[in-house]
């Protein structure tokens, strides 16, 4: 049963998760998962599962982009998941090349939970604009 305490605990986990992603801190992001972590990149048709593979994915992902901030704008809670509308802001352009152009990317993350323990992030985002910077998104 979804209780106010579980909702509050989930939002704490998600705040730490988004903060870790903003800081490009692989260990901080991994610490927000309970059990075996998984990222399901729905738009790219790619799922990354297990601590070692998620660690490699996150490091590659973080190395591919410039400074950014992930902002959870709205949270929608269900029994087994919390959906989060996320605004990601790249103040120096996506690749950090100091273009003077702020890039904003909106996405929806569906975070799967067992109670207050997160185990999967399903990311729904248009990755097409990111492929030139991260061609490995399309690798099998």
Instruction: Parse the chain into domains and list their residue ranges.
Output: 4-138
Burial 59-73 (b: 16+ CB within 10 A, else e): eebbebbbebebebe
Q: What is the structure's pLDDT at 14?
A: 98
Per-residue pLDDT of the chain (140 residues; tens, 9 = 90+): 899 999 999 999 999 999 999 999 999 999 999 989 999 989 878 899 999 999 999 999 898 888 899 999 999 999 999 999 999 888 876 677 777 777 788 899 999 999 999 999 999 987 666 666 667 666 66
Give the CA radius of gyration of the chain: 15
Q: What is the structure's pLDDT at 119?
A: 97
- Round to whole Å and give the CA distance between 50 and 95: 27
- Round to whole Å and give the CA distance between 45 and 121: 14
Q: Which fold has domain 4-138?
A: Nuclear Transport Factor 2; Chain: A, (3.10.450)
Other CB atoms within a 10 A radius of the CB of residue 127 amount to 19
Q: What is the structure's pLDDT at 110?
A: 98
* Segment 53-58 long-range contacts (CB within 8 Å, at least 24 positions apart): 54/30, 55/26, 55/30, 58/26, 58/29, 58/30
Collect all residues with Cβ–Cβ distance below 8 Å to 103 and sequence separation of at least 6: 89, 90, 93, 94
Q: What is the structure's pLDDT at 105?
A: 83
Q: What is the structure's pLDDT at 31?
A: 97
Q: What is the structure's pLDDT at 49?
A: 96
């Amino acid at each position: 049963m979804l209780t106010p305490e579980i909702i509050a605990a989930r939002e704490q986990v998600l705040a730490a998760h988004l903060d870790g992603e903003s800081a490009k801190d692989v260990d901080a992001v991994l610490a927000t998962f309970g059990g075996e972590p998984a990222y399901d990149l729905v738009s790219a048709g790619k799922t990354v599962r297990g601590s070692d593979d998620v660690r490699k994915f996150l490091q590659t992902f973080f190395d591919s982009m410039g400074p950014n901030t992930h902002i959870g704008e709205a949270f929608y809670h269900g029994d087994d998941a919390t959906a989060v509308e996320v605004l990601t802001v790249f103040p120096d352009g996506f690749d950090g090349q100091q273009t003077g152009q702020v890039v904003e990317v909106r996405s929806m993350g569906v975070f799967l939970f067992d109670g207050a323990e997160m185990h999967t992030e399903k990311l729904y985002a248009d990755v097409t604009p990111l492929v030139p910077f991260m061609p490995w998104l399309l690798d099998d």
